[in-house]
A and B are shown apart, each in its own frame.
Chain A
Amino acid sequence: MSVDVSPTPQSLLVCDRSSFLDQKNRLNSQVEQLRFNYKVSLLLPECGSAPSHLDSVLNSFSSFCVIRNLPIYELLDRHFLESAVYHGSVYGLSYGTRMDEDNCVALMPNGRLSLSLDKDSYELLGLQGKPSRFNHRTRIRFVVSIDLTDSNMAPGGQGYLRLLTGLKSRLQLQTDFLLSHHPGGIPSLQPLLSRFEWSEHKPKVVHRSLTDLACPVLTSDQWSCDPHSFLEWLGAVDADISSENSSSTFLSSWVCPEPQRPVSQALSVSVCGLLLPQDLHRLTQALRGYLEQPRLESWASMTVHGFVDSVVSWGENEHRVHRGGHNFYTLLMFHNHMYHLHLASEAKDSCPP
């Protein structure tokens, strides 16, 4: 068989333009759809050091914990359900497991437990699930999604016992687990944590000052810069890639998209860890406050990366890792309350909201 050596790989990018003042703007609902966030990076042009209120928001991100070798059935523990799952929202994600190789587990804030299992594990578990959307010809992967807040799933209920025996005596799934709770934080997870080896982590904040940056001219009223080249530029700034090239440079011909203007200094801040959408929402508000003061450059950008190996991507849509499994969004905010939102995901994943 011959192979076509020049097919176009698939990607999906949704670009939204709206205003914070618009009553119908869907920013919050869109942003909350990405539950498991790994990294947020800010780019503030013409800014030497972050203003204090922004800094305080960045440093007050809720901490999360890692539990080593957590048997998944422990998530069904009665005390844990009562103290954490039924009250507030729990964000839990298996850590160190890969979507394309291993069994993955996610506990979503709405009380859903989602398991992405290979065929053998699925058959061992013996619970009804759905074959993954991304199976090709042979069904090798299955998704089991259970609503823990359902009456059938209340401790002692029929469905609860079936799931418990499935996870306890048949499948015996054990993984490292990332866990966070809103609004209670670590204390409300205590019933579960006390029985295992765990460690608390604070999201790691990294500040980076950039000088003499070539920067595309961005205006709020239209796509002044092609979304792909803008995201490329943002990525290059993030990865610290030099743009001092010309079309004849041997190594790289990448340049800042035109029209461009020099920016004498900029601040890039990134935060890594299991980040909650609520914290990101606070950060968005802080950035809006930051933009209200008059500045040389009237925009700021915020990029949020989702976990590659999370079972769900946007909302409760199934996620997969085929060639990267990226899902992220970039929020470009302007002085006049306008914003551009770019949502990206791997094609064939469902479209972002």
Chain B
Amino acid sequence: MKPAEKEEESVYKRVVLKNASPYQYMKICLVLEDESTRLSAVELKLFIISGLRNLYGEVGAALNFDLLKYDEDTLTAFLRVTSRGLVKLWSSLTLLGSYQNQACAFRVLQVSSFLLSLTGNSRDLQLD
């Protein structure tokens, strides 16, 4: 029995990863003054890049981020950005104030180190 037990024990392994997530995920929503305006995914990404360029210049505009998913009806998008670029991206989203001469604002709904937690947010729970 003993050798078998040892084998079983050797199976167990535990790894703790602290601050190791390479990416951060954001769930954002664009609010426009004129609600009938439609944006395509490409336009949205260009718009965000223009915000980065305004705030952080050409170096900021070179920041890599991915538009993972975009819903044209609700103007809600999932973004992925490297952990080091999160503050840059977030701050430039905050300071984006106008789209084609109309007032707009980005609402950052959720930020997480895991894409999984964006799909399981208990604040979305609606009970009636």
A and B from one assembly?
yes
A interface residues with partner B (beta carbon < 8 Å): 3-19, 21-25, 38-39, 41, 66, 95, 98, 199, 201, 223, 227-228, 231-232, 234-236, 238-242, 250-254, 272-273, 303, 305-309, 323-324, 326, 328, 330, 338, 344, 347, 351
Chain A residues near B22 (CB-CB < 8 A)? 228
Q: Are B45 and A238 in contact (CB under 8 A)?
A: no
How far is it, in angstroms, between the C-alpha of A13 and the C-alpha of B125 when the chains are bound? Answer: 25
Specify which of B18, B19, B88, B119 is in contact with A235 (CB 8 Å cutoff): B119
Chain A residues near B91 (CB-CB < 8 A)? 5
5 A–B contact pairs at CB < 8 A? A17-B12, A41-B120, A242-B69, A309-B122, A326-B114
Specify which of B14, B80, B87, B118 is in contact with A15 (CB 8 Å cutoff): B14
Knowing A17-B11, A234-B116, A238-B116 are in contact, say whether A252-B17 is a contact too (CB < 8 A). Answer: no
Q: Are A13 and B17 in contact (CB under 8 A)?
A: yes
How far does the Cβ of A203 sit from chain B's closest Cβ, in whole Å?
Answer: 11
Q: Chain A CB within 10 Å — which of B20, B80, B113 has the most?
A: B113
Q: Which of B104-121 contact A (CB under 8 A)?
A: 110-121
How far is it, in angstroms, between the C-alpha of A197 and the C-alpha of B69 when the chains are bound? Answer: 40
Knowing A17-B11, A227-B17, A305-B117 are in contact, say whether A9-B68 is a contact too (CB < 8 A). Answer: no
Specify which of A6, A18, A250 is in contact with B11 (CB 8 Å cutoff): A18
Q: Are B121 and A13 in contact (CB under 8 A)?
A: no
**B9 is an interface residue with CB less than 8 A from chain A:** yes
Q: Are B12 and A18 in contact (CB under 8 A)?
A: yes
Q: Are B13 and A16 in contact (CB under 8 A)?
A: yes
How far does the Cβ of B121 sit from chain A's closest Cβ, in whole Å?
Answer: 6
Number of interface residues of B (CB under 8 A): 53
How far is it, in angstroms, between the C-alpha of A306 and the C-alpha of B70 when the chains are bound? Answer: 26
How far is it, in angstroms, between the C-alpha of A3 and the C-alpha of B55 when the chains are bound? Answer: 14
Q: Are A239 and B114 in contact (CB under 8 A)?
A: no
Q: Are A252 and B68 in contact (CB under 8 A)?
A: yes
Q: Are A95 and B66 in contact (CB under 8 A)?
A: no
Not counting A9-B86, A199-B128, A238-B119, a sample of 11 additional A-B residue pairs whose C-beta atoms are within 8 angstroms of each other reads: A6-B87, A11-B20, A13-B20, A16-B13, A17-B14, A21-B8, A22-B9, A38-B120, A228-B23, A242-B69, A344-B116
Q: Are B12 and A239 in contact (CB under 8 A)?
A: no
How far is it, in angstroms, between the C-alpha of A296 and the C-alpha of B23 when the chains are bound? Answer: 32
B interface residues with partner A (beta carbon < 8 Å): 8-9, 11-25, 41-42, 45, 56, 64, 66-70, 78, 80, 83-88, 91, 110-123, 125, 127-128
Specify which of B11, B15, B64, B122 is in contact with A338 (CB 8 Å cutoff): B11
| Nearest A residue to B85, CB-CB | A6
Q: Are B122 and A347 in contact (CB under 8 A)?
A: no
Q: Are B66 and A253 in contact (CB under 8 A)?
A: yes
Q: Chain B CB within 10 Å — which of A238, A252, A305 has the most?
A: A252
Chain A residues near B13 (CB-CB < 8 A)? 16-18
Chain A residues near B125 (CB-CB < 8 A)? 38, 95, 272-273
Q: Are A232 and B23 in contact (CB under 8 A)?
A: yes
How far does the Cβ of B38 sit from chain A's closest Cβ, in whole Å?
Answer: 17
Q: Are A236 and B127 in contact (CB under 8 A)?
A: no
Q: Are B117 and A324 in contact (CB under 8 A)?
A: yes
How far is it, in angstroms, between the C-alpha of A199 and the C-alpha of B20 when the chains are bound? Answer: 43
How far does the Cβ of A243 sit from chain B's closest Cβ, in whole Å?
Answer: 10
| Nearest A residue to B11, CB-CB | A19
Specify which of A4, A11, A201, A308 is in contact with B114 (CB 8 Å cutoff): A11
How far does the Cβ of B3 sit from chain A's closest Cβ, in whole Å?
Answer: 15
How far does the Cβ of A144 sit from chain B's closest Cβ, in whole Å?
Answer: 23
Specify which of A14, A39, A41, A231 is in contact with B16 (CB 8 Å cutoff): A14
| Nearest B residue to A38, CB-CB | B122
Q: Are A328 and B11 in contact (CB under 8 A)?
A: no
Q: Are B19 and A11 in contact (CB under 8 A)?
A: yes
How far is it, in angstroms, between the C-alpha of A326 and the C-alpha of B117 when the chains are bound? Answer: 6
